Structures are given as C-alpha cells and as structure tokens.
Chain A
Amino acid sequence: QSALTQPRSVSGSPGQSVTISCTGTSSDVGGYNYVSWYQEHPGKAPKLMIYDVNKRPSGVPDRFSGSKSGNTASLTISGLQADDEADYYCCSYAVTYTLLFGGGTKLTVL
C-alpha cells in the first residue's frame, strides 16, 4: 500500500482558516471512517488532533475540525494561531489490518 497523499506545505495568516487534504483510495480513506490527524512540533512527539474522521480528543480546540468526502479527508484549522505552525499527518486504516500515514504537510503561519 502507498502512503496517503498530502500537500507538502500550506500557509495562512493569523486568524485565517486553512485546510489540509489527505487523498487515498477506496481501500483506505474512502472505505472506512478511521481517519485521524496528528500535529507534530519540531522535536516533539505527535499529538492526536482528530480521530474517526471528525472527532476531537479532550483538550483539542474546536478550531480543529475533520471531514471526509469520497477518498479524500480534510483537516480544517480556523482562527489560525502562531502555535498552530507545525507538521500535520493524516492516518487511515487500510485493508487489510494496517494503518497508513500521509507524507505530512508543513503548516506555516505567516
């Protein structure tokens, strides 16, 4: 199985919204509601921001939201803040019994 496809970089100004896409196939993103998103700051462990496509773990601001349409999942961050600058990875269950990650997207807050 190939890694999920994410844009290498996105950017936005403070207060704006940005959306990061994650494209897979019907064998992973499109076929199951097991899409998650992780935020990774340099030198830190990844942090789960979204699970099961659109659910937020306790403590994650509601500025972060997830969605899915067909084989593409999306992470939207509204009201951008400086601390949102990080790498973001999508992840999906894939047949059979495996997890796939995307290549990662670097978010720059201008």
Chain B
Amino acid sequence: QLQLQESGPGLVKPSETLSLTCTVSGDSISGSSYYWGWIRQPPGKGLEWIGSIYYRGSTYYNPSVKSRVTISVDTSWNQFSLRLSSVTAADTAVYYCARGDLWSGYYFWGQGTLVTVSS
C-alpha cells in the first residue's frame, strides 16, 4: 500500500531555508514511471503547485518560486526532498508531497505538514 510521509522542521526563521523530505513506502521511486511533486496550501487559502521531479532527475518548477526552490530525489532512501530558500511569512503553509502523472493529476498524497515561517 502506497504511503507518503512528509518530515522536517515545523518552524523556520525568515530568510532561512525550508527543507522537507517525503519518504515513500509501498512503491520504488526509481522503479516508478510517475512524477513526485510538492504542493502547498497557506492557512485558509488555496493550493499551489511548487514543483515535480522524475527519478532520473528531470524537474519542473512553478515560476513563482523557481529562483528559490530545489527538488531532489534520493533513490537509495526512496525519498525526495524540497528546499526553499529565503523564506518569508508568505511561505507559511501546509506542504504536501504527492505522486502522479506530471500534468494529468496527483493520485496519492501525504498527510501534509505545517511549516510556519516566523522569528
């Protein structure tokens, strides 16, 4: 049974780097034909796609965060990660990791983790 679990600090200071990891169980990232993505949702607001990665390393990023974001994959640990630099309060959100077809839709989601940007 596929499961995705986000992990990382729940509090990040302004101007620092937000780092999250998504651990995948029930599927092999390197053996999968799917893309692995990050989507966020600020409190009380809508969803925003951050970016997605294929296990071979090809990445696609939302232009609104492209200059600050890096998504990477670690097939040995069956994980993929998000790094978002120079964070501000506007980056406070629930961050979800998900698996899906790059542009068609994301079928499986983690439970989400709240990251607050505050000093």
Contacts and interface: CB of A to CB of B under 8 A. Distances in A.
Interface of A: 1, 3, 32, 34, 36, 38, 40, 45-48, 50-52, 57, 89, 91, 93, 97-104
B101 A46 contact: no
A65 to B, nearest CB: 15
B109 A51 contact: no
Interface in B47-63: 47-49, 60-63
A102 B62 contact: no
Nearest to B48: A101
Contacts of A93: 103
B37 to A, nearest CB: 8
Nearest to B97: A45
Contact of A46 (B60, B96, B103, B104): B96
B46 A36 contact: no
15 contacts: A36-B106, A45-B110, A46-B106, A47-B109, A48-B100, A48-B105, A51-B105, A57-B105, A91-B105, A98-B61, A98-B62, A99-B103, A101-B47, A101-B49, A102-B46
B46 to A, nearest CB: 5
